[in-house]
C-alpha cells in the first residue's frame, strides 16, 4: 500500500502570479516566487523561484527571467510547465528512484476563460500530473480561513493576489456572484515605480518597488502605528548617478490610491449584485480579506469605512488559498465545486 501511495502522490498547488505554494502531506513544502531564469542559447532552465528572483532585472543578454503568469493566468506555456516541474522536484530532499504520478488540485481565478483553464490543466499534465482538479481561488480562500462553505450562509471573500483581485459571495458550496479585476499586487508595484519617477526623478526596478510595498505600503495616509521611513536606492534620472532617498508610508498611500479605489469599486459592485438574503448574512458576518494584498496597512480600515461593514483580515493571508486547496485535496469526493 505504501508503495502505491508513493507512486500516486497528492499535491495542492496555489499557482499565483507572484508566488507559487505547494502543499504535500498536509505541509506547505514549497513557497517560492513564480519566476524562471532561462538560458537564451540552450533554452534550458537555469533557476526557479528564489534563485531566479535574485537574478531578475540583473541578467546579461544570455539569460532571461520570465514570469510565466500574468494577471492570474498562464502567459508563457513552456515557462509555466518548467516552473511547475522544477517546483515539484523541490518537494523531495533527494531525487526519487521512480517518478511518481500526481493527483493535483490547482486553484485558478474565478474570472478565467475556458481556454485559460485548459492551459493550466495542460501545463500540469505536461509536468507529470495524472489527474488535475481545479478550484476557484475565492472558494479555496474561504475554506482556508475556516469558513464552512456548505452552509446556507453568505460570506464575502476579497482575495487580493499578485495579478488579480477576486471578490466572491459564497454559499452552499458555490460562488453566487463574483467580480474578478486585474488590479492587485503587481499593479501596486507599477504604481510605486511610476510615483518614484514622477515625484522623485528616480528610476527603480520591480524588486525595489516590491520592497517599498512590503516595508511602507499603506492604504491610508494616516496610520495609528506608522512604519519607519524606508531607504530607497535607485538611479537619478537627471544625473544618471545612483542615489538614496527616504520614502514615507503616506507617500506610498498616495501612489497606490487609484488602484485601491478600483478595488473598493469592485467590492461595492459585488455587494450590489448580491441577492438580498445573502446581503443580510454579509451584514452580520462582514468581509474577509485574504491574499498578499491583505497585508497592506490600513486596507481593512479603508474598506470598512467605504462599506460600513466589519472587515476581517485572515490569519496568515498569504497562505489562505493554498491551505484551502490542501483541504479540498483531502476531500476530493466531498466537494462538488472541484472541476475535473
In a domain, 237, yes or no: yes
User: Region 69-89: what's the mean pLDDT?
Assistant: 91
In a domain, 102, yes or no: yes
Which among 78, 72, 186 has a CA at the least distance from the CA of 136?
Answer: 72
pLDDT tens for 261-288 read: 999 999 999 999 999 999 999 999 999 9
> 206 and 165 in one domain?
no
Is the model's pLDDT at 301 over the cut of 90?
A: yes
Residue 157: per-residue pLDDT: 97
pLDDT tens for 100-128 read: 788 999 999 988 889 999 999 999 998 88
Which among 324, 329, 339 has a CA at the least distance from the CA of 135?
Answer: 339
Residue 127: per-residue pLDDT: 87
Domain-ending residue, one of 222, 237, 256: 256
Is the model's pLDDT at 158 over the cut of 70?
A: yes
What letters, b where the CB count within 10 A reaches 16 and e where it falls short, cover 205-244?
A: ebebbbbbbebbbbbbeeeeeeeeebebebeeeeeeeeee
What letters, b where the CB count within 10 A reaches 16 and e where it falls short, cover 79-118?
A: bbbbbbbbbbeebeeeeeeeebebbbbbbbbbbbeeebbe
> 246 and 262 in one domain?
no
pLDDT > 70: percent of the chain? 96
Instruction: Give the model's confidence band at 98: pLDDT under 50 very low, under 70 low, under 90 confident, else very high.
Output: low
> 95 and 25 in one domain?
yes
SS3 139: helix
> 290 and 178 in one domain?
yes
> 276 and 151 in one domain?
yes
Residue 339: per-residue pLDDT: 80
Which among 134, 174, 131 has a CA at the least distance from the CA of 151?
Answer: 174
Q: Positive or negative CA dihedral for 219, 225, 230, 236?
A: positive
In a domain, 36, yes or no: yes
In a domain, 134, yes or no: yes
Q: What's the half-sphere exposure (Cβ side, CA atoms, 13 Å) at 121?
A: 15
Instruction: Give the model's confidence band at 6: pLDDT under 50 very low, under 70 low, under 90 confident, else very high.
Output: low
> 197 and 174 in one domain?
no
Number of independent structural domains in the chain: 3
In a domain, 218, yes or no: yes
> 113 and 26 in one domain?
yes
Residue 336: per-residue pLDDT: 78
Residue 172 Cα to chain centre, angstroms:
25
Residues 6+ positions from 183 with CB-CB distance below 8 Å: 164, 165, 259, 262, 263, 266
Residue 1: per-residue pLDDT: 42
Measured distance CA(269)–CA(255) in Å, rounded: 24
Is the model's pLDDT at 233 over the cut of 90?
A: yes
Is the model's pLDDT at 5 over the cut of 70?
A: no
In a domain, 340, yes or no: no
Least confident stretch, 8-22, 94-108, 205-219, 291-305 = 94-108
Residue 72: per-residue pLDDT: 86
Q: What is the CATH number of the domain that holds 295?
A: 3.30.420.40
In a domain, 337, yes or no: no
> 191 and 172 in one domain?
no
Residues 6+ positions from 123 with CB-CB distance below 8 Å: 74, 77, 80, 81, 84
Instruction: Give the model's confidence band at 2: pLDDT under 50 very low, under 70 low, under 90 confident, else very high.
Output: very low
| Residue whose C-alpha cell is 500540469 | 124
> 159 and 217 in one domain?
no
> 45 and 132 in one domain?
yes
> 34 and 63 in one domain?
yes
Is the model's pLDDT at 4 over the cut of 60?
A: no
In a domain, 338, yes or no: no
Determine the structural domain holding residue 190 and report its residue range: 186-256
Q: What is the CATH number of the domain that holds 191?
A: 3.90.640.10
Instruction: Give the model's confidence band at 7: pLDDT under 50 very low, under 70 low, under 90 confident, else very high.
Output: low
> 163 and 307 in one domain?
yes
Residue 44: per-residue pLDDT: 92
Amino acid at each position: 500500500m505504501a508503495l502505491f501511495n508513493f507512486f500516486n502522490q497528492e499535491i495542492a498547488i496555489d499557482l499565483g502570479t507572484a508566488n507559487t505554494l505547494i502543499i504535500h502531506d498536509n505541509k506547505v513544502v514549497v513557497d517560492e516566487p513564480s519566476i524562471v531564469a532561462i538560458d537564451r542559447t540552450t533554452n534550458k532552465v537555469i533557476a526557479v523561484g528564489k534563485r531566479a528572483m535574485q537574478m531578475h532585472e540583473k541578467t546579461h543578454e544570455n539569460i532571461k527571467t520570465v514570469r510565466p503568469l500574468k494577471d492570474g493566468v498562464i502567459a508563457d506555456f513552456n515557462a509555466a510547465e518548467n516552473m511547475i516541474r522544477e517546483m515539484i522536484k523541490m518537494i523531495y530532499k533527494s531525487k526519487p528512484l521512480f517518478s511518481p504520478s500526481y493527483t493535483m488540485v490547482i486553484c485558478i481565478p474565478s474570472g478565467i476563460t475556458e481556454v485559460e483553464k485548459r492551459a493550466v490543466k495542460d501545463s500540469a499534465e505536461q509536468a507529470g500530473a495524472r489527474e488535475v482538479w481545479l478550484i476557484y481561488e475565492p472558494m479555496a480562500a474561504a475554506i482556508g480561513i475556516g469558513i464552512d462553505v456548505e452552509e446556507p450562509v453568505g460570506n464575502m471573500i476579497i482575495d487580493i493576489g499578485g495579478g488579480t483581485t477576486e471578490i466572491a459571495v459564497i454559499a452552499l458550496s458555490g460562488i453566487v456572484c463574483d467580480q474578478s479585476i486585474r488590479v492587485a499586487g503587481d499593479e501596486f508595484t507599477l504604481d510605486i515605480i511610476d510615483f518614484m519617477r514622477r515625484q522623485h526623478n528616480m528610476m527603480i526596478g520591480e524588486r525595489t518597488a516590491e520592497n517599498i510595498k512590503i516595508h511602507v505600503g499603506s492604504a491610508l495616509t494616516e496610520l495609528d502605528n506608522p512604519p519607519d521611513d524606508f531607504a530607497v536606492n535607485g538611479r537619478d534620472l537627471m544625473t544618471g548617478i545612483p542615489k538614496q532617498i527616504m520614502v514615507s508610508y503616506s507617500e506610498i498611500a498616495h501612489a497606490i490610491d487609484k488602484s485601491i479605489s478600483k478595488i473598493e469599486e469592485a467590492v461595492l459592485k459585488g455587494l450590489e449584485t448580491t441577492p438580498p438574503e445573502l446581503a443580510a448574512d454579509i451584514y452580520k458576518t462582514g468581509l474577509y480579506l485574504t491574499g498578499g494584498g491583505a497585508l497592506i496597512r490600513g486596507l481593512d480600515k479603508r474598506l470598512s469605512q467605504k462599506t460600513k461593514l466589519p472587515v476581517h483580515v485572515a490569519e496568515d493571508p498569504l497562505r489562505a488559498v493554498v491551505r484551502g486547496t490542501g483541504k479540498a485535496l483531502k476531500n476530493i469526493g466531498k466537494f462538488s465545486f472541484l472541476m475535473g
